[in-house]
């Protein structure tokens, strides 16, 4: 029986590093943001880098995403699905009840400052923290257990934290999860060249210089708005 671990994250949040960590397990396969094309097609957003390539690479129908990608037949013990919270737009989230859901959060000050280097004027919808909070509460309302992890906590002590996470998921921890080779992976989405430069240079979990980047003044109201959702999720963090 395959354990399907569904990561629900905001952007610029070591989600790709966590995907690489799971990809390095000897018992796992990973998939990178299977809902991305659905999100772009459904919203009509066209300012994301590589929009055309993304729309050509992945299904536009949520039913197809769920059937062909999330619940595809796969013969491995662990299937890690990396996803973005803001991609969950106008869709029935009931399929999440059949997954092991992990919410990845990050201090929105750092998150927004990093995201604004690629998207000039992000909105609360782009950042994903509000949507994470909504999905978390949906699962709680349906008595479905989920796990919240803070990327800063992972970076403080990667091994100890990943051991805790694996224990909660009832899967073995492997030392291979702590390191990976530099460069891209075949599982990377077609958007990777626009977003993954830092993780491509890395060989493990490490704070980036972007973590101390200052927040432009125009984005402080967005930060204050996101902070409320971050604090509520942080209370539930592993």
> pLDDT tens, 19-78?
999 999 999 999 999 999 999 999 999 888 899 999 999 999 999 999 999 999 999 999
Could you tell me the pLDDT band of residue 113, with boundaries at 50, 70 and 90? confident
Helices 108-115 and 220-234 meet at what angle, rounded to 10?
130
Separation of alpha carbons 216 and 14, rounded Å:
21
CB atoms under 10 Å from CB of 144, counted, come to 14
The pLDDT score that the predictor gives to residue 209 is 59
Separation of alpha carbons 2 and 77, rounded Å:
5
Which run of H or E residues covers position 8? strand 3-9
* Helix, strand, coil fractions of the chain, as percent rounded to 5: 50, 15, 35
Separation of alpha carbons 10 and 207, rounded Å:
17
149-167 pLDDT per residue, tens: 999 999 999 999 999 999 9
Kindly state the DSSP code that residue 65 receives in the 8-state scheme.
Answer: I
> In terms of pLDDT, which residue wins out, 171 or 11?
171
The pLDDT score that the predictor gives to residue 208 is 64
User: What superfamily in CATH does domain 3-234 come from?
Assistant: P-loop containing nucleotide triphosphate hydrolases (3.40.50.300)
- Lowest-pLDDT range of 86-90, 100-104, 108-112, 169-173: 108-112
193-226 pLDDT per residue, tens: 998 998 999 999 987 655 567 888 899 999 999 9
Outline where DSSP puts E strands in 25-145. 28-32, 78-84, 100-105
């Amino acid at each position: 029986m395959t354990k399907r671990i569904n990561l629900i994250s905001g952007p610029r949040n070591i989600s790709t590093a966590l995907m690489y960590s799971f990809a390095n397990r000897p018992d796992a396969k990973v998939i990178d943001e299977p809902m991305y094309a659905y999100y772009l097609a459904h919203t009509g957003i066209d300012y994301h880098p590589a929009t055309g390539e993304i729309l050509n690479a992945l299904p536009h129908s949520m039913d197809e995403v769920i059937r062909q990608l999330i619940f595809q037949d796969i013969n491995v013990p662990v299937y890690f699905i990396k996803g973005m919270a803001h991609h969950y737009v106008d869709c029935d989230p009931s399929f999440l009840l059949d997954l092991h859901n992990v919410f990845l959060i990050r201090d929105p000050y750092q998150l927004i400052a990093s995201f604004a280097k690629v998207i000039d004027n992000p909105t609360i919808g782009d950042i994903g923290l509000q949507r994470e909070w909504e999905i978390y509460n949906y699962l709680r309302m349906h008595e479905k257990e989920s796990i919240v992890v803070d990327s800063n906590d992972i970076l403080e002590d990667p091994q100890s934290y990943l051991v805790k996470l694996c224990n909660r998921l009832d899967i073995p921890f492997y030392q291979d999860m702590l390191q990976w080779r530099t460069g891209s992976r075949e599982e990377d989405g077609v958007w990777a060249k626009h977003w993954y430069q830092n993780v491509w240079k890395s060989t493990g979990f490490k704070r980036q210089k972007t973590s101390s980047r200052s927040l432009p003044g125009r984005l402080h109201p967005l930060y204050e708005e996101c902070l409320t959702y971050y604090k509520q999720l942080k209370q539930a963090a592993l």
